[in-house]
Chain A
């Protein structure tokens, strides 16, 4: 009886060990000399999987284009993907695997700020550059001590830039005196944008009369929107991601909230219009990276449409930009030495990417244009284009 049990346990243990050695074996294989390994650490499952996967699609397209154009430095790029399950701890795990098992030369991702911050120490310790496509918090590239993190870069806006743009737009263009700030409390992105908006809007002579919050994956916003309606503010600022934004706009209009609703690049997805409906979406404005009517981004949009059969959203576009950025850095570095790649990333200048041109500033943040789009009768109209000042 006991022997039988023991045999079973022994068989199981040896089985798992065998599996382990097998897996460890195939993970640790040396990179072929004619390829450059790039790691992709993204939210492929878990509650922000839709953002991570979209960025990954964009990134893959950029690398595919580079490979089709003959690769980089005579080598082909190989993307190694690891899922971080939308969790900070798993992000460290994924980055460690990419660096120590797969020997990647650079890591792209993750999408969400917290997950990038989590992996940044591992990457710094191992001197592998990280390029975050979508993480907008200033804390991503600048540490708690105020020092720039050597190996961490991003290819998107930072929150202060966008919050500033929208606060000025509300005060100057819409002549708003009062505003409600309605943020996603589960997201760094949303909270810090709300904070910046409040500061800048107050500085511009406006007044934030109510601050409310919701949580990611909330379905019903009517209770809070009823409260917001009583504030009767000139504008409502909702810096959040498209899934919730669509529902918020729809439900706000159903409750008879007519004031303009403002947002940020998290709005940039056709899903917002699908969920809210064109009618409800009238009189809403958001800042983003490009207007899809812009000639210079047409190439990217068409290529993406052809590859995946649907239009890119903002995460896809930023993932694509990150891909272009890393390819450029590899070319300029002329080698696949991670430290050289780092140096090349830091000196990126006037690089034409999918959504505009990028110059890396001293804080490892790109200097790039912002546009403000208005949703009008089912279409998006560009109402402003802002070139930021270099710091």
Chain B
């Protein structure tokens, strides 16, 4: 394998890793867009989604797609419940209290799950045969393509929802200015709930797919991907759906290249360094418009 082939293979690795970040980042960016909260619990919702998918498959005997739907439903409801119980009462509280609450919810999800499912990792049963496509020396895994494909399809569907439907319009209005939107007759509470529901359901998709792809899930699996997904969302421009996907893919590729050509122990540092550089030089992200602050 020569250098250019190795580089291409690393690109493929990076895109497949990035598509997972992208999937989580989609939900993250929607939620941040509407209530401006770094929802630290989002990574843990993704973990819960993975476990629900796992139990639907092993205990419920479902196939992968029905399990995905079950997981999306349950996790979507979980998202609504979290928002209603933990975030809604604090909507007018200082931002920092909301953030601490998010950290609290995150701990709560992690350790309640740990209590019920034990800290031992679980392994998904094999659902899909290994299909790999060989192009010369390059190897593309079927599951990688599936994840990338699902991410793209979801991005298109979401963009459609946000820009073409009534609820999407309401979301954009509430995100722009919640109070004015309410005055215009938008039921902001409902819109926020729906956003959490969709965002969490997306996290569930990511959780189940990661379970299938990496074949191992554990109660603390959401911490790092959650953080990385936020980085991806910021990278692409927070609140912008295609931005989240592109940000996720770029992050994945950078990580793969750093791991492949420098050292994998610097991978996370590289991700954070990129984040800081983007924040400093293009705070609105790749796709965002720079707006000047109004007094």
Interface flags for B106-127 (1: CB within 8 Å of A; 0: not) read 0000010010001111010010
- Which of A223, A255, A274 has the most chain B CB atoms inside 10 A of its CB? A223
Which of A28-36, A45-53, A325-333, A352-360 forms contacts with chain B? A45-53
Determine whether the beta carbon of A246 is less than 8 Å from that of B215.
yes
Determine whether the beta carbon of A45 is less than 8 Å from that of B1.
no
CA distance A372 to B116 in the complex (A): 36
Known: A215-B265, A247-B216, A254-B130. Is A50-B119 also a contact (CB below 8 A)? yes
- Where chain A touches its partner, the secondary structure class is helix
The smallest C-beta distance from B100 to any residue of chain A, in angstroms, reads 18
The smallest C-beta distance from A258 to any residue of chain B, in angstroms, reads 12
Which of B91-99, B170-178, B196-204, B255-263 forms contacts with chain A? B255-263
- B14 adjacent to chain A (CB < 8 Å): yes
- A217 adjacent to chain B (CB < 8 Å): yes
- Which of B141, B256, B264 has the most chain A CB atoms inside 10 A of its CB? B264
Determine whether the beta carbon of B114 is less than 8 Å from that of A45.
yes
The smallest C-beta distance from B139 to any residue of chain A, in angstroms, reads 6
- Among residues 235 to 276 in chain A, which have CB atoms less than 8 Å away from a CB atom of chain B? 243, 246-247, 250, 254-256, 271, 274-276
- B48 adjacent to chain A (CB < 8 Å): no
Interface size on A, residues (CB 8 A): 35
Interface flags for B220-259 (1: CB within 8 Å of A; 0: not) read 1100110000000000000000000000000000011111
- A220 adjacent to chain B (CB < 8 Å): yes
B121: chain A residues at CB < 8 Å are: 50, 243, 271, 275
- Among residues 272 to 295 in chain A, which have CB atoms less than 8 Å away from a CB atom of chain B? 274-277
* Closest A residue by C-beta to B120: A50
The smallest C-beta distance from A219 to any residue of chain B, in angstroms, reads 6
Determine whether the beta carbon of B119 is less than 8 Å from that of A220.
no
* Closest B residue by C-beta to A255: B139
Determine whether the beta carbon of A227 is less than 8 Å from that of B6.
yes
CA distance A275 to B125 in the complex (A): 9
- A224 adjacent to chain B (CB < 8 Å): yes
The smallest C-beta distance from A129 to any residue of chain B, in angstroms, reads 28
CA distance A276 to B261 in the complex (A): 26
Determine whether the beta carbon of A226 is less than 8 Å from that of B6.
yes
Can you list the 9 inter-chain pairs with the closest CB atoms, starting with the nearest?
A: A223-B259, A274-B123, A49-B119, A222-B13, A223-B256, A223-B260, A50-B119, A50-B120, A224-B264
Name B's A-contacting residues (CB within 8 A): 1, 6, 9-10, 13-14, 16-17, 111, 114, 118-121, 123, 126, 130, 132, 139, 141, 210, 214-216, 218, 220-221, 224-225, 255-261, 263-265, 267-268
Name A's B-contacting residues (CB within 8 A): 45, 47, 49-50, 53-54, 185, 212-215, 217-224, 226-227, 229-230, 243, 246-247, 250, 254-256, 271, 274-277
